[in-house]
Amino acid sequence: MSDPILVLGGDGYCGWATSLHLSAGGHQVVIVDNLSRRRFDTELGIQTLTPIASIEERVAAWQQVSNRRLGLEIGDLCDWDFIADVFARYRPQAVVHFAEQRSAPFSMMDRGRAIFTQANNVIGTLNVLFALHEFSPAAHLVKLGTMGEYGTPNIDIEEGFIDIDHKGRRDRLPYPKQPGSWYHLSKVHDSHNITFACRLWGLRATDLHQGVVYGSSTPELEGDPRLVNRFDYDEIFGTVLNRFCIQAALGHDLTVYGIGGQTRGFLNLRDTVRCIELALLNPPGAGEYRVFNQFTEQFSVVDLARRVSDTASRMGLTPRIAHYPNPRVEMETHYYQACHTSLLTLGLEPRYLDDETIQALIEVGIRYSERTNLFTIRPTIRWCQDSTQADAVATRRQ
């Protein structure tokens, strides 16, 4: 390999797994991270279920296990001097960009965190775009967006663009976005900014609108205890399926928000790392901005709860599904049909959710049960302070 791939946010849940997967595949990988995810844990009194090593220990362990070197640059994308220096030194062939505040509940905690989320994500990404333009204009930007950018429209969700027939004319236009948190909005802002940068400067970008990721591991992560990935189960950073499995392991209620009819796209962490690699191996042309919807299956929240409950029961546990007042402003039953063929066309072979995967996740919860703090699971961050208003708004939208 010649020029390296920068993995921005390479110390995070998806970023660390991706860094190792790309390194194992023979790519020269440089992790760029400000370690803010670890700082959030400290500030919020939460922690990853799995004990993770420092980034320096991780990099050293990977070199011992694989004999491959990971570059490491500690710094903040919002610091132009830092990012310009990194891009100027490495002149990357590609940039995988995970480096954003990625929790919707975090962004809904208070005004300060709402503004932090939008400023951090939007300005960081703008700096990446300017750095690409200045130092690596032919590099491929693989940006992590979210399926949550689309919201829950009453028509099929396409991959980034939609052909619209209107008053006898037709155009292919950006798919309308209806995000449901200050965090999801930051991703929509990014998508618009990246689209413009491609048109303006001829940059090339793949915007991966990713679904909800579940799973704790990939083959690369299993080579050494110091390589273990972080695993979040709390109400702020935990995603729904992972959280249900930990709840089942610990005898905690499976916390379904409201009716649980919220349907979303999901994928295994093992497919995440493969999707990133497929995007990298098949770059878009100069000036092209493309969107891939990155998920493999749709589930409703209550369906997932039942799946976890069934598996847990077979394991001899006594899981209980409980419906909590929904802290979010969202529809609890709605149409949902989202296209996700681009990555399949490029060769993705999905690893669909099976009992074995659910059982493995429950076993993670059992193994690390002494590290859990049940108080961090229960939803306390409300989208509206007045839940009556939230119910009314959600009802009005149905």
Q: Would you name the residues annotated as active-site residues? A: 146, 183, 187
Q: Which is nearer to a copy of itself, 129 or 280 (CB)?
A: 129
If one asks whether residue 170 binds a copy of itself (CB under 8 A), the answer comes out as yes
- For the bound state, the minimum distance from the C-beta of residue 105 to a copy of itself, rounded and expressed in Å, comes to 14
d(CA 101, CA 146): 12
Please choose, from the candidates 94, 22, 8, 95, the residue with its C-alpha nearest in 3D space to the C-alpha of residue 277. Answer: 22
Member of 82, 138, 189, 333 binding a copy of itself (CB under 8 A): 189
Number of residues that bind a copy of itself (CB under 8 A): 53
Taking the least distance from each CB to a copy of itself, the nearer of 68 and 334 is 334
Instruction: Build a one-symbol-per-residue string for 121-160: x at contacts with a copy of itself by CB under 8 A, - elsewhere.
Output: -xx--xx--x----------------------xxxx----
Pairing of strands 169-174, 161-166: antiparallel
Decide if residue 180 touches a copy of itself (CB under 8 A).
yes
- CB 109 → a copy of itself: shortest distance, Å? 13
- If one asks whether residue 336 binds a copy of itself (CB under 8 A), the answer comes out as no
Comparing CA positions, the residue from 65, 48, 45 lying closest to residue 57 is 65
Q: How far apart are CA 216 and CA 237, in angstroms?
A: 14
| DSSP-derived 3-state class of residue 317 | coil
Give the strand order in the sheet containing 297-300: 212-214, 263-268, 297-300
Which own/partner pairs from 345-349 qualify as long-range (CB within 8 Å, at least 24 positions apart)? 346/278, 346/279, 346/281, 346/282, 347/278, 348/271, 348/274, 348/275, 348/278, 348/296
CB of 390 to a copy of itself, least distance (A): 8
CB of 309 to a copy of itself, least distance (A): 32
- Sign for the CA dihedral angle at 38, 40, 44, 50 comes to negative
- Shorter beta-carbon distance to a copy of itself: residue 306 or 328: 328
* 104 interacts with a copy of itself by CB under 8 A: no
Distant-in-sequence, close-in-space partners of 91: CB < 8 Å, separation ≥ 6: 3, 135, 136
Minimum CB distance to a copy of itself, residue 266 (Å): 23
Task: Supply φ then ψ for residue 32, to 5 degrees.
Answer: -120, 120
Does 173 sit near a copy of itself (CB under 8 A)?
yes
Residue 82 interacts with a copy of itself (CB under 8 A)?
Answer: no
Q: Please report whether residue 396 would count as binding a copy of itself according to CB under 8 A.
A: yes
Closest to a copy of itself by CB, 360 or 393:
393
Tokens of 344: 């399949």
Instruction: Tell me if 92 sits within 8 A of 6, measured CB to CB.
Output: yes
Q: Which is nearer to a copy of itself, 121 or 216 (CB)?
A: 121
> For a copy of itself, which residue of 82, 85, 193, 391 counts as binding (CB under 8 A)?
193
Chosen residue from 1, 115, 322, 344 binding a copy of itself by CB under 8 A: 115
| Footprint of a copy of itself on 275-334 (CB under 8 A) | 287, 329
Residue 384 binds to a copy of itself (criterion: CB under 8 A): yes
Beta bridge partners of 174: 161
**β-bridge partners, 256:** 323
Runs of H (alpha helix) within the chain: 13-24, 36-44, 55-66, 80-90, 104-107, 111-135, 182-201, 240-250, 269-281, 301-314, 342-345, 355-367, 387-396
Look up residue 43 and give its amino acid.
E
Work out whether 352 is an interface residue with a copy of itself (CB under 8 A): no
Give the residue with the Cβ less far from a copy of itself, 177 or 243. 177
Q: By the 8 A CB rule, do 66 and 384 touch?
A: no
Give the footprint of a copy of itself on residues 201-260 (CB under 8 A): 201-202
Interacting residue ranges for a copy of itself, rule: CB under 8 A: 80, 111, 114-115, 118-119, 122-123, 126-127, 130, 153-156, 162, 164-167, 169-171, 173-182, 185, 188-189, 192-193, 195-196, 199-202, 287, 329, 335, 383-384, 389, 393, 396-397
